[in-house]
Chain A
Amino acid sequence: MKAAWITTALLALHSLSAARDWTQPTLAERAAEAAGRSPWESAFWIGLGLAGTLAAMTLLGLSLVYAERKIAARFQCRLGPTRVGWRGTLQTLADTFKLISKADLVPRDADRLLFFTAPWLVVSGMLLALVNIPASPLLFVVDLNIGLLFISAVGALSVLGILLGGWASNNKWSLLGSMRAGAQIISYELSLTLSLLVIVLFTGSLSLGEIVQSQQEGWWLWRGHLPAMVAFLVFVIASTAELNRTPFDLAEGESELTAGFHTEYSGLRFALFYLAEFLNMFIAAGLAATLFLGGWMPLHIAGLQTFNRVMDFIPPLVWFGLKTGGLIFVFMWLRWTFPRLRIDQLLKLEWRFLLPLSMVNLLVAALVLLLGVYGKGGPA
């Protein structure tokens, strides 16, 4: 037990300094390793993983909502929240308390059991995906050997939650919103998965840890040539649609559907849907950063020794944060720039354009791999 504490402290220090040795056991591996020695130590690592994930979830949720409001305000020449806390930083915290203390309304004809379970399904799908995201060699809870597959599998839980939430509300707007969300998520899942497969093809692994390791030589976005770039673009577009964010936010098109599948939800349950939405954005951005932008690997440019040394001194967590944050900004930028599509335009975009494109792209990636041209050019 004492050893566990000391190692944690040392590891925390280690993560602040430049970690040259990238191979660190994940929390789950530490727990499994300790299971034979002492169950307490194993429980400690598992508890640390769980508590860390929950803390990260809360913190990210609060800061992402704040960031969205501030960025939206800037795009619209407003100031955004300014009153609560320094420059309004505590605004989301205050809003959370407001949401929790609100009256909890349940429609009379709702299917009560499903109405109550739906938000938790969405949140549990999100949490199961979140533990797989490698934030740094140390802040990495589970490294499944089927990591990517697992993330797309648990995504199904969120879709189910949305569908059931809309159906259980017994409200036409909710039902229409959830059907749209379901159709949209299932459609865009195809090109999303195909774009992930390009990287799986290059790496030869589904484990997120190994995918990050494979980018020590250079990010896949550069090293994978054209197919990786196309896959990156497809991934960003498809995940914007998966997240139900503008320009693909038909599921909650205010002008036609009030608020879509969560029209009838209030208080804490609404907060859960909202939280899951923002954290799914984080997961999508984190996944894109991990797959295409090298995860927590620092930026290296071949030949520039000094530059690379300096880059090494920036801790992995900061790298991951910068890349993910940048992508999150892109998501928000898209949201406040583009108008909403119509449902037929949205489905046409996927089935007539993105899907064929990503299929051809996967074939090209396979060709590139077979001909052995990858690994040259770009920052290495």
Chain B
Amino acid sequence: MENLVFILLSLLAVLGGLGTVSMRNPVHSVLCLLLTMLCLAGHYILLQAPFMAAVQIIVYAGAIIILFLFVIVLLNLRDDVLKRRTLPMGRLYYIPAGLAVMLVLTGLFRAGSNWISGGPAPEGTIEALGMELFTKWVYPFELTGVLLLAAMVGAVAMTRRDKEEG
């Protein structure tokens, strides 16, 4: 049963990933990314980490995907712009991508028959997570906070216009 859910979620996630890179319309592309993110949240639930799942949905589906949508919708890309979209020497990019796929596949085959279940994870409670985060990892946690704040201030400063201009 669990394996069935896992395989279904993984298939959907891979499908979403493929859609993300292959869709012509950027909005459809973003939605495929959303599908992948939701499936990953499902994986977290299978791994007994409901908190991570909820955070995954809040952060990715709730914030990042919506931000992407805002940007894409506001850019108002027309069809002729979208058709011209090719990278220089596009074929060359297949090589690292193919290598990465081969690496993952090799890993899968080497892991043998029990590749699906990595064994049960210890059940993660929010209390345990909080204790870890705010005792053992408090410095990295606070530093990350400061880093994010700096990024936010930077973004505001960059978009800010002086009064005379505005």
Q: How far is the CA of A183 from the CA of B66 in the complex (A)?
A: 10
CB-based contact B66/A167 at 8 Å = no
Say what secondary structure dominates the interface of chain A: helix
Hey, which chain B residues are within 8 Å of A146, CB to CB?
50-51, 54, 126
Say what secondary structure dominates the interface of chain B: helix
Hey, which chain A residues are within 8 Å of B54, CB to CB?
146, 149-150, 153
- Within residues 142 to 185 of chain A, which ones have a CB less than 8 A from any CB in chain B? 144-146, 149-150, 152-157, 159-160, 163-164, 167, 175, 179, 182-183
Hey, which chain B residues are within 8 Å of A160, CB to CB?
34, 61, 65-66, 69
Q: How far is the CA of A146 from the CA of B70 in the complex (A)?
A: 29
CB-based contact A157/B61 at 8 Å = yes
Q: How far is the CA of A80 from the CA of B74 in the complex (A)?
A: 41
Would you call B57 an interface residue if the criterion is a C-beta within 8 Å of the partner chain's C-beta atoms? Answer: yes
CB-based contact B58/A167 at 8 Å = no
Would you call B62 an interface residue if the criterion is a C-beta within 8 Å of the partner chain's C-beta atoms? Answer: yes
- Within residues 82 to 111 of chain A, which ones have a CB less than 8 A from any CB in chain B? 111
Q: How far is the CA of A179 from the CA of B72 in the complex (A)?
A: 12
What number of B residues sit within 8 Å (CB to CB) of A?
22
CB-based contact B57/A163 at 8 Å = no
CB-based contact A156/B61 at 8 Å = yes
Tally the A-B contacts, defined by beta carbons under 8 Å: 65
CB-based contact B62/A149 at 8 Å = no
Contact residues on A (Cβ < 8 Å of other chain), bracket: 20 to 34
**What is the chain B residue whose CB lies nearest that of A207?**
B126
**What is the chain B residue whose CB lies nearest that of A183?**
B70
**What is the chain B residue whose CB lies nearest that of A204?**
B127
What is the CB-to-nearest-CB distance from B78 to chain A, in angstroms, rounded to a whole number?
A: 13
CB-based contact B66/A149 at 8 Å = no
CB-based contact B62/A153 at 8 Å = yes
Would you call B73 an interface residue if the criterion is a C-beta within 8 Å of the partner chain's C-beta atoms? Answer: yes
CB-based contact B70/A182 at 8 Å = yes
What is the CB-to-nearest-CB distance from B152 to chain A, in angstroms, rounded to a whole number?
A: 13
Interface residues of A (CB under 8 A from B): 111, 114, 144-146, 149-150, 152-157, 159-160, 163-164, 167, 175, 179, 182-183, 186, 189, 206
17 A-B pairs besides A149-B54, A182-B69, A186-B63 with CB distance below 8 A are: A114-B27, A114-B28, A145-B125, A145-B126, A146-B50, A146-B54, A150-B50, A152-B58, A153-B54, A156-B61, A163-B66, A163-B69, A164-B27, A167-B27, A175-B73, A179-B73, A186-B66
